[in-house]
């Protein structure tokens, strides 16, 4: 049977395209804000486009922050996409406004230092050894649309029994976090659903971990 995937429906604009891409990647996909479905599925996807504050308001309205926290506490997979990745960090600062995120990772989402914003288009990524998400597409390009990002990775793992997160970087003006693989929690700053065959492979790699 195909893994059950819920795309969290909190009003984000890229939900249907993400859902279609996940179906093609092998998932049995439902778009919903139903708490029980989101808790019981094999994999939860948190999409996101637009402003950090608006996405967090939508997520909190459907108790998405609680769902993410409880799933991760039980080792249940979660995938964030674009702003859905950004909200997993502690803070987002846009136009001088500091908005609290879900806080699964320390760090701040802030405006990139680059000559041209938004960062829109295809870009290569620097993939760490042993990546599961990027298996087979380490040297491919992916599609980004954003002006804000995480410029510093701040989570330090001091317990040797805990695997350090695998952090993928990209550069637009300066380096920024392009993807993270951290146990059951994964995320991409780029849009895999808009990244052609390479993005499809990333989603298929993630769905394959849910079985």
Catalogue the active-site residues. 82, 191, 193
Of 188, 191, 185, 186, the residue nearest 177 (C-alpha): 188
Strands (E), the chain: 4-8, 28-32, 43-46, 78-81, 89-94, 97-100, 105-111, 119-124, 141-146, 148-150, 166-172, 174-182, 185-188
Please name the residue that has the structure tokens 């620097």.
Answer: 126
For 69, counting Cβ atoms within 10 Å of its Cβ (0-12 exposed, 13-18 middle, 19+ buried), the class is middle
What's the length of the chain? 211
Report the DSSP pairing between strands 28-32 and 4-8: parallel
Contact 128, 112 (CB under 8 A): no
């Amino acid at each position: 049977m195909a893994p059950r995937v819920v795309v969290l429906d909190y009003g984000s604009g890229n939900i249907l395209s993400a859902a279609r891409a996940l179906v093609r990647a092998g998932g049995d996909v439902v778009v919903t804000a139903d708490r029980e479905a989101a808790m019981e599925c094999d994999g939860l996807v948190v999409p996101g486009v637009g402003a950090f504050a608006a996405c967090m308001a939508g997520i909190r309205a459907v108790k998405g922050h609680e769902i993410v926290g409880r799933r991760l506490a039980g080792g249940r997979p979660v995938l964030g996409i674009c702003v859905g990745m950004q909200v997993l960090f502690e803070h987002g600062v846009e136009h001088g406004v500091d908005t609290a995120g879900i806080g699964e990772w320390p760090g701040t989402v802030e405006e990139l230092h680059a000559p041209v914003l938004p960062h829109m288009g295809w870009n290569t990524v620097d993939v760490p050894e042993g990546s599961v998400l990027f298996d087979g597409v380490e040297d491919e390009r992916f599609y980004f649309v954003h002006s804000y990002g995480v410029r510093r990775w701040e989570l330090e793992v001091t317990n040797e029994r805990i695997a350090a997160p695998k952090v993928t970087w990209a550069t637009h003006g300066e380096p920024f976090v392009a993807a993270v693989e951290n146990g059951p929690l994964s995320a991409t700053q780029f849009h895999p659903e808009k990244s052609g065959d390479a993005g499809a492979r990333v989603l298929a790699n993630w769905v394959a971990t849910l079985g």
